[in-house]
Structure formats: C-alpha cells, structure tokens
C-alpha cells in the first residue's frame, strides 16, 4: 500500500519539522492509517500525534479509548483524548445524534490541532466510504456538489486513504498483524449507510464488480467541474459576511443561483450539510417575495429591503423556575417578589404560546410581529409563566391576570436586560 503519490498530489504531507494529527477511533481504517503514518513520518521529516474522542455512546466506548491509548504507546505516538456528552448536546442543539457527534468530533480535532500546532489533520475515510457517500447523496436527491462526494482536502483536514480499497486496508492489517476494535453500531441496519453496505452493496456489485472504483472516478470528475462552477458563483458574493443584495443574486444565471446560496450558507457555523434542494428553492422564493425562513442547523434567512440576510437562530434557553430575589436567565436579570404557592417560570417562546390581554387572546408570533421584534431575536425574549400559563412577555405585554392575585399572593416581577452601553429596564 503506497499512499505517497496520492498524498503528494493533494499536498497532504506536512512540511519538514511539521506535525500531523491523526483521528483514531480504534477501528480497522484508522488503525491502518495511524500505523502507516507513524512509519512514514521519520523518513519524511514530520511527526505524528493521535486524537480519540470518546463519545460515551456505547458500552464499549471506554474499551475503544484504552485500545487506542495502548496502540499509541506501542507506536510511540503522543495520544490526546476527550469525552463528549453527545446525547445531551444533541438535545441542546436540536440536532440528530450522528450529526452532533460529527460536529463535536471535528471541533475536538481542530482544537487539539491548534493546541499542539498540527498543520494537518488526517481522517481515515477510504474508497468505499467515498462511493457510499455519493450513492446515499444520490438517493436522497442532490446536485453536483453532493455527487462530488468527500473532498480529499478541506482546510487542514486530509484524507490519505480516500483512494484505498477496504481490501487493501485489510491486507495491510494482516501483513503487519495489527489488531483493531469493532463498533457494534456497524451491525445496526437501522442506519442507512449500514443497510446500504450490508444489504444493497453486494447486490449492486453483481451488476458491476468495480462499483467502488467507478463511483470514485465519477466523483473525481464532478469534483473538478464543481470547483470551477464554485469560482463562477463566488463572483456574485460579497467578500465577507452573509448579507447578499437580492438584485445581485437574481442577476446571476439561473443555474448558478442555488450554488451562490450554498456558498453563502457555508459561511455560517451551521454550514450547509443538511440543506437540501427544498431549502434552496425556499430561499430563492424568499429572495423574490421577502419574509423569514428557518433552515437546518439552527440557521435562519430573512429578506427585507432588497437584502437577503443569513444568521444563526438564538439558542432556545431552558425553562427555569424563578426563586424569590434576582434570577439570571440569558441576557436578563429577573427579580421575583411574592408569588408564594405559585410556580413562576421563565423560558423561550413556543409556537403554540398565546397571551390574553385586554384585546383578547393572541398568538405570540403575531404579538412579536406587532412589536417589531425580529425573528432572530425571539428565542432570547423572556416568557414568564405562572402555573404553566403565559402571563407576561418582555417587550410585548402582560396578561390580564398578572395584576390580580395568584394564590392569594401578589406577584411582582422586574426584568432588567444587561447591556454594556445601554440600560433597558421593564417593570411589571
């Protein structure tokens, strides 16, 4: 197995004296990659370190961490590890477990690389991963970008095994008598990739035994063409930021407009991984008609005054029970007096929320619109509830019953917004 020509072609090798950080799960692919790089490094004048993120998602997670630690000790490779609360973070972010794990993993790799001064981060994606990704993207519905598959290089991330077959990896492990660990979730066909790999792929190979290589070649062709189209689309974007004049967008050839929007979305932390054609179509309609639009990954689009603006939605803050005295929630200090016997809470708004005032019962969405509160700011607004019912919303109004007695005890709430240069206090 000779990875050097591929690595040299894509500039994957660190400079002399440089450091490469290898992501190692303990599975066969990453064990193969770490062993290969550790043996290659001395002759090429660079050094290798390993990073392992313990997702704590499986019973054998600690076993995997211990295995990688021992492997690094045998190879005399520095080892870095960290635990990640994937399930809790997925709930906080409102994302799937797999996507949350991926984001936490790459965040860990980049932070570790920054700390130790690594100029490259190597992951063990191989030719089968590439082919599966392209086919899954096709089945879900995608354009040229999705059919281009996994890029060999993205920033500091390099993929030395991307043209290496699974058979070559297995042969390498056998030749060097290398052990590895098995991920029990690889057997779970509830995951689309596992079902494709275990059930559909063998059938497809009866049609074309060279399926993996053929799809990889197609991906490489499309990746080259995709790069060229991206350069054309980029000419319509501002040099920085995520605000685009709609006239500029609509002046582009129709075929380039979706690509322009994808490039713009790529500038946000949410990225564009989960953005599909339906979202792009909705963005294009927004650019013509105006309004707001929620997008995957916590992103949001607004079109007003001839400008399309992409932002990240404010995080939904957890519900908190208010105690007598000062309570801190988000950007606000909330002081509660009275209310003995009542459960007084504060939280972000929900789509079903309504507030009853002297004008009747109205939805919070309508009240936010009437108050001129932008959609991107609404999750930050304190919604005060008494015994589960919405009673007051900062900057919007108070319910009729707030001025009356609740459980024979008056409730007095003062909300103070903390700001550096400006003080904004509301008292109810």
For 385-398, how does the pLDDT look when each residue is reduced to its tens digit (9 = 90+)?
A: 999 889 999 989 88
3-state secondary structure of 401: helix
Taking the model in full, what pTM does it have?
0.69
86 and 45 together in one domain: yes
Comparing C-alpha atoms, which of 25, 376, 323 is closest to residue 182? 25
174 and 262 together in one domain: no
212 and 276 together in one domain: no
63 and 125 together in one domain: yes
190 and 332 together in one domain: no
Instruction: Show which of 256, 281, 312 is a domain's final residue.
Output: 312
Comparing C-alpha atoms, which of 27, 75, 69, 70 is closest to residue 51? 69
62 and 102 together in one domain: yes
The predicted model gives 100-111 an average pLDDT of: 91
Burial (Cβ within 10 Å: 0-12, 13-18, ≥19) of residue 361: exposed
> DSSP label at 197?
I
In this structure, the dihedral spanned by the alpha carbons of residues 91, 97, 102 and 107, taken in order and rounded to 10 degrees, is: 20
Give yes or no for residue 402 having a pLDDT over 60: no
- Residue 424: pLDDT band by 50, 70, 90 thresholds? very low
Element (H, E) at 112: helix 97-116
200 and 279 together in one domain: no
Give yes or no for residue 404 having a pLDDT over 60: no
How many domains in the chain? 3
Residue with tokens 């005060």, as numbered in its chain: 384
Most confident of the ranges 48-62, 211-225, 289-303:
211-225
pLDDT at position 372 is 86
pLDDT at position 401 is 59
3-state secondary structure of 62: helix
Instruction: Show which of 290, 312, 334 is a domain's final residue.
Output: 312
Specify whether the CB–CB gap between 20 and 37 falls below 8 A.
yes
- Residue 223: pLDDT band by 50, 70, 90 thresholds? very high
CA distance 252 to 324: 58
Residue with tokens 């932070």, as numbered in its chain: 111
Could you tell me the CATH number of the domain that includes residue 85? 3.40.50.620
Give yes or no for residue 426 having a pLDDT over 70: no
CA distance 283 to 299: 12
With respect to residue 228, please indicate whether it lies within any of the assigned structural domains. Answer: no
With respect to residue 250, please indicate whether it lies within any of the assigned structural domains. Answer: yes
Could you tell me the CATH number of the domain that includes residue 264? 3.30.465.60
63 and 170 together in one domain: yes
pLDDT at position 419 is 60
Give yes or no for residue 428 having a pLDDT over 80: no
52 and 177 together in one domain: yes
The predicted model gives 214-233 an average pLDDT of: 94
Cα-trace Rg, the chain: 27
- Domain range enclosing 378: 320-427
The predicted model gives 288-310 an average pLDDT of: 89
394 and 332 together in one domain: yes
- Residue 423: pLDDT band by 50, 70, 90 thresholds? very low
- Residue 427: pLDDT band by 50, 70, 90 thresholds? very low
pLDDT at position 142 is 78
Burial (Cβ within 10 Å: 0-12, 13-18, ≥19) of residue 17: exposed
pLDDT at position 409 is 58
Tell me the per-residue pLDDT of 137-153, one tens digit each, with 9 for 90 and over.
Answer: 888 777 788 899 999 99
Specify whether the CB–CB gap between 71 and 78 falls below 8 A.
no
Give yes or no for residue 45 having a pLDDT over 90: yes
């Amino acid at each position: 197995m000779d990875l050097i020509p591929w690595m040299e072609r894509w500039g994957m090798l660190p400079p002399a004296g440089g450091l490469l950080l290898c992501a190692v799960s303990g599975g066969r692919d990453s064990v193969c990659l770490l062993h290969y790089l550790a043996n290659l490094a001395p002759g090429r004048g660079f050094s290798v370190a390993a990073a392992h993120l313990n997702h704590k998602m499986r019973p054998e997670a600690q076993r995997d961490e211990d295995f990688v630690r021992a492997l690094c000790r045998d190879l005399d490779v520095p080892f870095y590890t960290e635990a990640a609360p994937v399930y809790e973070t997925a709930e906080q972010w409102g994302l799937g477990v797999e996507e949350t794990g991926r984001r936490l993993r790459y965040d860990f790799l980049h932070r570790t690389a920054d700390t130790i001064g690594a100029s490259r981060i190597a992951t063990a994606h191989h030719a089968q991963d590439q082919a599966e990704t392209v086919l899954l993207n096709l089945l879900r519905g995608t354009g040229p970008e999705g059919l281009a598959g996994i890029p060999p290089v993205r920033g500091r991330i390099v993929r030395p095994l991307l043209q290496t077959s699974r058979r070559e990896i297995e042969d390498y492990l056998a030749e060097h008598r290398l052990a590895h660990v098995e991920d029990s979730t690889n057997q779970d066909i509830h995951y689309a990739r596992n079902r494709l790999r275990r059930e559909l792929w063998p059938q497809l190979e009866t049609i074309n035994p060279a399926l993996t290589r053929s799809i990889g070649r197609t991906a490489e062709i499309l990746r080259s063409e995709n790069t060229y189209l991206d350069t054309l689309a980029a000419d319509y974007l501002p040099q920085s930021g995520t605000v685009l004049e709609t006239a500029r967008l609509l002046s582009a050839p129709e075929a380039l407009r979706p690509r322009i929007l994808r490039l713009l979305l790529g500038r946000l932390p949410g990225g564009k991984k989960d953005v599909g054609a339906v979202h792009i179509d909705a963005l294009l309609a927004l650019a013509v008609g105006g309004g707001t639009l929620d997008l995957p990954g916590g992103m949001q689009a607004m079109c007003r005054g001839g400008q399309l603006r992409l932002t990240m939605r404010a995080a939904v803050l957890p519900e908190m029970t208010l105690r007598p005295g000062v309570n801190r929630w988000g950007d606000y200090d909330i002081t509660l007096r009275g209310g003995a016997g009542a459960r007084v809470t504060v939280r972000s708004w929900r789509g079903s929320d309504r507030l009853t005032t002297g004008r009747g019962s109205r939805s919070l969405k309508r009240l936010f619109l009437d108050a001129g509160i932008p959609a991107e700011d609404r999750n930050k607004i304190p919604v005060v509830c008494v015994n589960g019912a919405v009673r007051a919303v900062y900057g919007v109004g108070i319910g009729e019953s707030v001025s009356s007695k609740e459980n024979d005890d008056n409730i007095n709430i003062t909300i103070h917004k903390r700001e550096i240069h400006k003080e904004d206090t509301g008292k109810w």
